[in-house]
């Protein structure tokens, strides 16, 4: 089960009016694309709902959430954009890179050496350093380490559990919190400028396992990689999240982990 990052309106998300980078790549290069469930089965195409009905439902859900989390005796948090037209941002760090970023953060926080490589599909959630970081409140509560999968476009740093629009209870945080966390990671690690950070989504990450030759995808003569450089994956995931936060704040839209 892969991991995509989506920053955009909830209306577009639930109306399926967006395409992952894998879908976009497949269409651009003339390949078919289908989603596969965690059981290895092809996902069934869901019946399309009316975007206006979805928008109304999202606005109603949004008002309930904002009412519940806004500080008492203060002006309520401003509502964010909800429509089916606002542009969106998406990219695909996958879980290996996401986990590498958590490991990099934990290693730098505790002054521990960073292991040079991680294996494909590694079990990052049970890594001792990552578990330690998730339980260590002396270093603050990090949305990245407590299982947050949605970040709402709010400047204040918050984290809470609540039902999402499909009634599944998940952990929420805010783009303000995620921004502070990314800035902290950069401070204790790379101290890179924004231009460099943005370049990592293209220059770092997973080595190529295949290439296109004569309009066909081929692995001929190419090594299949099952071991990755930890810091390169961490930079790749960091760049994608940085771009998502930047897009979220500029367009006032949530960030979601899609998996």
Please report the pLDDT score of residue 40 as a whole number.
Answer: 45
Please report the pLDDT score of residue 198 as a whole number.
Answer: 98
Please report the pLDDT score of residue 209 as a whole number.
Answer: 56
Higher pLDDT, 217 or 243: 243
Phi, psi of 238 (to 5 degrees): -60, -45
210 and 218 in contact (C-beta within 8 Å)?
yes
How many C-beta atoms lie closer than 10 Å to residue 166's C-beta? Answer: 8
Residues 6+ apart with CB under 8 A from 174: 143, 151, 152, 153, 154, 155, 156, 157, 158, 159
The 10s digit of each residue's pLDDT in 146-192 is: 999 999 999 999 999 999 999 999 999 999 999 999 999 999 999 99
The 10s digit of each residue's pLDDT in 114-141 is: 999 999 999 999 999 999 999 998 888 8
Please report the pLDDT score of residue 223 as a whole number.
Answer: 65
13 and 6 in contact (C-beta within 8 Å)?
yes
Task: Supply the mean pLDDT for the chain.
Answer: 89
Please report the pLDDT score of residue 93 as a whole number.
Answer: 97
Flag whether pLDDT at 239 surpasses 60: yes
The 10s digit of each residue's pLDDT in 178-235 is: 999 999 999 999 999 999 999 999 999 999 754 555 555 455 554 678 999 999 999 9
How far is Cα 80 from Cα 153, in angstroms, rounded to an integer? 7
162 and 169 in contact (C-beta within 8 Å)?
yes
| DSSP output for 153-194 | S-SS--EEEEE-TTS-EEEEEEHHHHHHHHHHHHHHTT---H
Please report the pLDDT score of residue 39 as a whole number.
Answer: 41
For residue 248, give the nearest of 184, 173, 185 by alpha carbon. 173
Both structure tokens of 136: 């260590």
The 10s digit of each residue's pLDDT in 15-61 is: 999 999 988 867 777 665 455 444 444 444 556 679 999 999 999 99
Please report the pLDDT score of residue 74 as a whole number.
Answer: 84
Helix (H) or strand (E) holding 11: helix 10-14
């Amino acid at each position: 089960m892969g991991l995509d990052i989506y920053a955009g309106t909830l209306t577009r998300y639930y109306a399926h009016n967006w395409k992952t980078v894998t879908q976009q790549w497949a269409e651009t290069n003339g390949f078919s694309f289908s989603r596969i469930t965690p059981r290895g089965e092809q996902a069934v195409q869901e019946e399309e709902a009316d975007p206006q009905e979805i928008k109304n439902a999202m606005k109603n859900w949004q008002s309930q959430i904002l009412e519940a989390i806004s500080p008492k005796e203060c002006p309520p948090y401003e509502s964010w954009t909800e429509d089916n037209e606002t542009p969106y941002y998406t990219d695909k760090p996958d879980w290996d890179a996401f986990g590498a970023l958590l490991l990099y953060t934990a290693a730098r926080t505790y002054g521990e050496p960073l292991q040079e490589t991680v294996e494909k599909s590694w079990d990052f959630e049970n890594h001792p350093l990552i578990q330690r970081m998730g339980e260590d409140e002396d270093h603050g509560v990090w949305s990245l380490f407590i299982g947050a999968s949605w970040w709402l476009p709010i400047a204040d740093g918050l984290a809470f559990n609540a039902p999402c629009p499909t009634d599944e209870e998940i952990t929420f945080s805010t783009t303000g919190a995620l921004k502070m966390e990314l800035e902290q990671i950069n401070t204790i690690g790379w101290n890179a400028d924004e231009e460099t950070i943005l370049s990592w989504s293209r220059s770092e990450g997973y080595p190529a396992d295949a290439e296109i030759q004569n309009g066909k995808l081929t692995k001929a003569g190419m090594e299949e990689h099952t071991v990755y450089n930890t810091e390169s994956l961490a930079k790749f995931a960091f760049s994608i999240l940085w771009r998502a936060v930047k897009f979220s704040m500029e367009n006032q839209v949530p960030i979601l982990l899609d998996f």
